[in-house]
Each structure stands twice: as structure tokens, then as C-alpha cells.
Amino acid sequence: MLSIFPALLTYKLIAPLILRLTLGSIFVNFGWTKLGRQKAGKIVFFEKINLKPGIFYVWLIAIVEIIAGLLLIAGLFTQIAALVSGIILLIAIFLKRKQPLSFESSLCLLIVCLVIALSLMFTGPGFLAFDLPL
């Protein structure tokens, strides 16, 4: 089938850029809020699921989320950052289904973020990235 706007196909590497910047911003926000206003609640949550001490896991996951988000924003090690993000999102989706009140994010947001992470794993970083295609 013919494309309605074939001239736009020239800019097809902008789509991964938009997805990468969006997912990276979301992950930086996830990590930052874990270290801020959600810290006490997350400590209780981790200890409730037998991950003690809870403060350690809050810091660990928050730092991993922030680093993954910054790597996505920069376009550096994009596929690895997308893989790590995808694993975190799979675990979050599983936990959200088990304990719906323990997460502020909706299940739909987590699923959309997982789809974005999977897309970036397969398409790469797009424009304005430090990753070089092999």
C-alpha cells in the first residue's frame, strides 16, 4: 500500500528519538520520586514483600531507574538501557497486578512503557544519540 505522506518516511529515525526521550524522562521521574515523596511508602512496600532492608532496595532501584533514564535520554547504550527498563517494567506490572494499591502508576502506563522499551530494543536509538549502528 502506498504511504499517504511518503516524504515523512525520510525522517523515520525521529520516532525512536521521541520514544527514547519519553521513556527516559519517565524513568528519571520514577527514580526521582522514589527518592522523594514516595520514599517512606516504598520502604514499607519492599519490607512487606520481604526485601529487607527496604531503604537499600529503594535506593538501588531508584538509582538504576535514574541511570537507565539518563542513558536513554543521552542515547548511550540504548538497547541495554531499554532491556533494563523492560525488566523493571515487567516486575512492576507483575507487582501492580498482585498489589494494585502499592503503585501510583496505572497498569496502562506501565504496559505502554514496556512496549516503548521493547520497541527501542529492536529499533535502536534513532537520531541524536551516542550509539552507533553496527
DSSP for residue 77:
S
Mean pLDDT of 110-115: 98
Among 107, 23, 26, CA closest to 34: 26
Q: Flag whether pLDDT at 134 surpasses 70.
A: no
What is the pLDDT confidence band of residue 9, given thresholds at 50, 70 and 90? confident
pTM of the model: 0.91
What is the residue extent of each domain of the chain? 22-123
Are 116 and 22 in contact by the 8 Å Cβ rule? The answer is yes
Separation of alpha carbons 104 and 134, rounded Å? 39
pLDDT tens string 14-45: 999 999 999 999 999 999 999 999 899 999 99
Q: Which residue has the cell 538501588?
A: 60
Separation of alpha carbons 33 and 128, rounded Å? 27
Q: Flag whether pLDDT at 104 surpasses 90.
A: no
